[in-house]
Amino acid sequence: MTLFAEFAGLGRRLEATSGRLEKRRLVADFLRAVEADEVGLAVAFLIGRPFPSSDPRVLGVRWLPREVASGGGPPLTLADVGAAFADVAAAAGAGSRRTRDARLTELARRASPDERDFLDRIIGGELRTGVSHGLVLEAIALAADADVAAVRRAALFLGDLAAVAALARAGGAAALSGAAPRPFVPLLPMLAEIATDFGDVLRAHGGRTALEFKYDGARVQVHREGERVGVWTRRLSDVTRSLPDIVAVTRELAGAPFILDGEVVALDAAGRPLPFQELMRRFRRVHGVEALVREMPLALHFFDCLMLDGRSLIDAPYAERWAALTRVTGGRYLAERALVGDVDAAQAFHARAVAAGHEGVMAKDLGSAYEPGGRGKRWFKLKAAETVDCVIVAADRGSGRRVGWLSNYHLAVRDGEAFADVGKTFKGLTDAQFAAMTDRLRALALEDDGYTVRVRPEVVVEVEYNEIQRSPTYRSGLALRFARIARIRDDKAPGQATTLDELRALYERQFATKGRAG
């Protein structure tokens, strides 16, 4: 059995090591050394979790009891710590707090000061050793002498690095290569690049492409095995309880176990799509769900099949996956779709989608595999972008690769002699433009709190957006959804920016094709 002191020692070495390659080697060596039945627990602890990420249990505590004197006893092992965490998570009902405290006190008494430090870090959910999920993934590959791409693919399918490490330990590189999607382990959704020209799309897809309506809804991934159904969002949040109508539809379908990808759209009484902001009420509701189901029905549009009859279709071409989707649904609940081979037909289909109140269209290569989390030219989205002219009134300091720049811009429209905020964006500019804009805004600075710099409202930018939403956050009462800077309008003065009255009119104009809640 692996002593927990060895894990704490690894933590100290990782803290003292700055190089990524050396950190990776240290983690790989540790994973090789632990017992096979400990490797999953070791990975969970390395990423600062008391349980593997696929395990729904929670401790319900923030740290070990304080002022507990060391009492000796046998040295702690990884398994001892795992068992103690399991007991704490299982404590429920009358006296549960006393049970948790007693179990954690026992753990603290057996731990050295160094071990207590790392136990607290795991309980708190942050190990602070400079070890990321990506580094642990690479260390699993190194320990198993496997290709990093195979480990990354297995992680997408299994949804848990602890499970990946256990698989690698049990079966090595061959087992990792054989990993496949599993029901109730949600996959990252495949994503699309933005395109503006159907000619470019057709050339990229070999002269023929599949167009689907791009619905102004929310992505859902639906799993079924037997009578059990699970529904996840694009961020992999479980919304099954909030969408009983989608669960009911899923139970009508054949071919389980299956995994389907699709979009849900909220509808008004006339069957017109409601704004995205209204749809989110359905996703957030956990009480009184049935009443909201009646008030705001959902339209379901499936567009991909990732598993059918328990067989993975991830690597099958799009055309084969669509055929499987048609079988499982019986042709119902499908996204509106057309196969096109010329620009005129593509533009006509796009116009039909926009006239129906949707965002635009998706274009999909008929031969493309499904790449969880991937984004590329296999899928494009073509939307009818709306634009307004905004003034930059403030900017936040950037993080990550944007450190050193003012790169999250506060956007405002004209409201009389003042300006009213309508959103923020860091999208649309090149690195060179970020750098130039940073210099320009610093010269206009009025206030600086160390994070946000308020500036004189002089810089006008043309901003693309997906939708205008009501907003309690901004004084304007409105917010631009998916704002993106299309170009810097040095040809315009701040007094020529879009006015708040004009923005309100644009907000109202949306309801020519969309429904209105309430």
Question: Does the CA dihedral 234-236-239-244 come out positive or negative?
Answer: positive
- Round to whole Å and give the CA distance between 397 and 407: 6
**Angle of CA points 214, 306, 329, to nearest 5°:** 70
Coil/strand/helix, residue 283? helix
DSSP assignments along 140-206, one per residue: HHHHHT--HHHHHHHHHHH--HHHHHHHHHHHHHHHHHT----TTSPPPPPEEEE---HHHHHHHTT
Residue 63, phi-psi category: left (phi > 0), alpha (psi -120 to 50), beta (remainder): beta
The HSE-up count of residue 357 (CA atoms within 13 Å, CB side) is 20
Backbone angles phi, psi at 426, to 5 degrees: -120, 10
d(CA 211, CA 359): 13
Half-sphere exposure of 187 (CA within 13 A, CB side): 32
Is residue 492 part of the annotated active site? The answer reads no
Which residue pairs from 472-479 have beta carbons closer than 8 angstroms and sit at least 24 positions apart in sequence?
A: 474/420, 474/421, 474/422, 474/423, 475/420, 475/421, 476/412, 476/413, 476/415, 476/420, 476/421, 476/422, 476/500, 476/503, 478/422, 478/503, 478/504, 478/507, 479/422, 479/423
- Residue 210 token pair: 């599949």
Q: How far apart are CA 388 and CA 480, in angstroms?
A: 10
Q: Which of 23, 214, 383, 514 is catalytic?
A: 214
Helix/strand number for the chain, H first, E second:
17, 19
CB 231 within 8 A of CB 239: yes
Amino acid at the residue 125: G
Per-residue DSSP letters for 36-103?
Answer: GGGHHHHHHHHTT-SS-TT-------SSPPSSPPP---SPPBHHHHHHHHHHHHH--STTHHHHHHHH
DSSP state of 241: G
Among 312, 343, 99, which residue's Cα sits nearest to residue 201? 343
Rounded to 10°, the helix 148-158/161-177 angle is 120
Tokens of 427: 């999208």
Going 264 to 270 to 276 to 279, the CA torsion angle's sign is negative
CA distance 485 to 295: 37
Task: Return the active site residues.
Answer: 214
